Amino acid sequence: MRRSLQQKITNNFHNHKQNSSGIEKTSSPNWTVLTRNHISQGSPKEALRLYTQVRSSSKGIHNVLGLVPLILKACASLRFPKCGKALHAESIKSGTLFDVLVGTSLVDMYAKCREIFDARKAFDLMPERNVVTWNAMIGGYLKNGDVESAFVLFERMSLRNSVTWNEMIDGFARSGDTVSARKLFDCVPSEMKNLITWTVMVDGYSCNGEMEKAREVFEQMPERNCFAWSSMVSGYCKQGDVEEARIIFDRIPVRNLVNWNSMISGYVQNGFCEEAMKAFDEMRAQGYEADEVTTVSVLSACARSGLFDVGREIHDMIIEKGMECNQIVLNALVDMYAKCGDLACARSVFEGMTERNAACWNAMISGFAVHGQCEEALELFGKMESSEEMPDDVTFLSVLSACARGGFVDEGMDILSKMAKYGLVANVKHYGCLVDLLGRAGRLKQAYDLIKRMPVEPNDTVWGAMLGACRIHLDMEMTERVAKEINNLNSKMGSGQNEHFVLLSNIYASSERWAKAERLRLVITNEGFQKTPGCSSFMPCVS
């Protein structure tokens, strides 16, 4: 949907180009066509290389000025403001800066490179502006989160087109102000309220979780495109209402890959991995080829469900079809192999990546930790620290988990202290890992002291880890202290923790304190507690 909006803006740029001051005629049409082809094919770097060649071989700047708007577009795509500023300087020297197309391209380039001050300066210096220029400046403010400044310009515009209205509605919705977005939507002149306008409003409500209002606008649409259908499917899935999402999906008269991706992704996000795989099979049976988005969702379903064979088939499919493996796809492969236990394949994909983000490092570290290769997890964490990628909260949680599983007490204490170095604050999960680590190592007093002095309120999971350590080491004195803390926590929460009472009862029984064990079992029976059934990733829950 947003690509469609951008395409309309681009088309307006090109339409105006044919009515501009004739700069196009001063350059070779072949260079212009070649440059435009590079940009349209997603190769802005090639466009810049071509421009450099043309510029160096040209006898004068006037021979290449027709390429400037296109090269500015390439700079915007690559977020290369320095290159754009060089072109700006050339335009000033040549006296063509005041051409409306060049000026508009400059405003658009600076805005997309988040140089909003320079964008506004270029905008203000333009002696002539058209509606595309205004839209570029408004879009720049909106992309930088300055809705107020965008709206001030919007109100100053003497002439607006459908793109102007759509950008403002989308901008308000993105900022969470759906009330203002709806007011603008209702004010759009009828001749400008097109399919994109309706879709932007539906998507705005959907992204903000206002599904009743999204449904109201959706049902009023005179016609619907694939983006409107997908917005509704995704919106319901984000709310956890997968059933309603499927009802909407089944109503789609002609589905495309975007619709299928929304449904499959929604299933995975809500833990319905089996349904996601069925939808994937159904999609392929109807002749649709998976793209990167589909692949990532299906690999995630395989990772969550332990479907190693299916995940490996998906990997084979990626190779056979020559699918572009961007960072997100590669991350999904690492995650799938790591969670399914094939650490060799996970490591192979990981090592073959030219760029790695935190998610990729975390997947690999977590895979080592979960499958007991704790030393490897710590070693990889050390390599991550030496890389350009900064560890995040999830990284430290995975490393602390590895320390707990491997019994690396000193390393765990040191790692927790490192969080401040990266500007991170430990939460209750991080402290819970450290409590578990100290407890397993028999340092119960140290674990208890940590709980009492940690800056966050301990939850039942933390106390449960402490109680588990008491059971392992049969420390009855500490058990009594922890039992009091759990009773206090239950009093605050107004409920009891089934697992804690059962564990306490077992501890008392193991130490032959039969009276206390029996009293707790009576409490469990009288309160109607039931033992939590065991559950496996591969087998159904059994009592």
- Beta bridge partners, 534, equal 542
* Whether the Cβ atoms of residue 217 and residue 211 lie closer than 8 Å to each other: no
Cβ count near 53 (within 10 Å): 11
Q: How far apart are CA 521 and CA 138, in angstroms?
A: 68
Q: What pLDDT was estimated at residue 364?
A: 95
Cβ count near 437 (within 10 Å): 28
* Whether the Cβ atoms of residue 455 and residue 489 lie closer than 8 Å to each other: no
Angstrom CA distances, 541 to 21, 275, 291, stand at: 73, 18, 34
Residues 6+ apart with CB under 8 A from 287: none
Q: What pLDDT was estimated at residue 58?
A: 58
**For the chain, what are the domain ranges?**
1-159
Q: What pLDDT was estimated at residue 532?
A: 45
The CATH code of the domain at 1-159 is 1.25.40
Q: What pLDDT was estimated at residue 542?
A: 30
How does DSSP assign 215-273, residue by residue? HHHHHH-SS--HHHHHHHHHHHHHTT-HHHHHHHHHH-SS--HHHHHHHHHHHHHTT-H
* Whether the Cβ atoms of residue 60 and residue 41 lie closer than 8 Å to each other: no
Q: Which two tokens stand for residue 130?
A: 């058209």
Tens digits of residue pLDDT in 304-356 = 999 999 999 999 999 998 888 889 999 999 999 999 999 999 999 999 998 89
* Whether the Cβ atoms of residue 396 and residue 382 lie closer than 8 Å to each other: no
Q: What pLDDT was estimated at residue 541?
A: 33
- Closest to 393 measured CA to CA, from 365, 364, 362, 355: 362
* Whether the Cβ atoms of residue 303 and residue 333 lie closer than 8 Å to each other: no
Full pLDDT tens readout for the chain, 543 residues: 444 434 443 444 344 444 433 344 444 446 778 887 887 887 888 888 877 777 766 544 444 556 788 888 888 888 888 888 888 887 787 776 678 888 899 999 999 999 999 999 999 999 899 999 999 999 999 999 999 999 999 999 999 999 999 999 999 999 999 999 999 999 999 999 999 999 999 999 999 999 999 999 999 999 999 999 999 999 999 999 999 999 999 999 999 999 999 999 999 999 999 999 999 999 999 999 999 999 999 999 999 999 999 999 999 999 998 888 889 999 999 999 999 999 999 999 999 998 899 999 999 999 999 999 999 999 999 999 999 899 999 999 999 999 998 999 999 999 999 999 999 999 999 999 999 999 989 999 999 999 999 998 888 788 888 888 888 887 788 877 887 777 776 655 544 455 666 666 566 555 555 665 556 566 556 555 444 444 433 333 332
Q: How far apart are CA 164 and CA 192, in angstroms?
A: 10
Q: How far apart are CA 214 and CA 208, in angstroms?
A: 10
Q: What pLDDT was estimated at residue 490?
A: 64
Element (H, E) at 330: helix 327-339
- Closest to 338 measured CA to CA, from 381, 382, 371, 384: 371
Q: How far apart are CA 136 and CA 134, in angstroms?
A: 5
- Closest to 455 measured CA to CA, from 433, 426, 434: 426
* Whether the Cβ atoms of residue 236 and residue 245 lie closer than 8 Å to each other: yes
Torsion of CA 539, 237, 264, 290, to 10 degrees: -150
Q: How far apart are CA 435 and CA 449, in angstroms?
A: 10
Q: Which two tokens stand for residue 160?
A: 């607006």
Q: Which two tokens stand for residue 6?
A: 């951008």
Q: Which two tokens stand for residue 299?
A: 């690999």
Q: What pLDDT was estimated at residue 51?
A: 78
* Whether the Cβ atoms of residue 365 and residue 377 lie closer than 8 Å to each other: yes
Q: Which two tokens stand for residue 280?
A: 């994937």
Helix axis angle for 29-40 and 68-78, nearest 10°, is 20
Angstrom CA distances, 328 to 268, 317, 325, 332, 337, stand at: 16, 16, 8, 6, 14
Q: What pLDDT was estimated at residue 91?
A: 79
- Closest to 218 measured CA to CA, from 189, 252, 184, 242: 252
Handedness of CA 114, 116, 119, 121 (dihedral sign): negative
Q: How far apart are CA 413 and CA 400, in angstroms?
A: 9
3-class secondary structure, 284: helix
Q: Considering the entire predicted model, what is its pTM?
A: 0.75
- Closest to 9 measured CA to CA, from 92, 107, 83: 107
Q: Which long-range contacts (CB under 8 A, 24 or more apart) does 158-163 make?
A: 159/131, 160/131, 160/192, 161/12, 161/131, 161/135, 161/192, 162/8, 162/188, 162/192, 162/193, 162/194, 162/196, 162/197, 163/5, 163/8, 163/9, 163/12, 163/131, 163/135
Cβ count near 290 (within 10 Å): 22
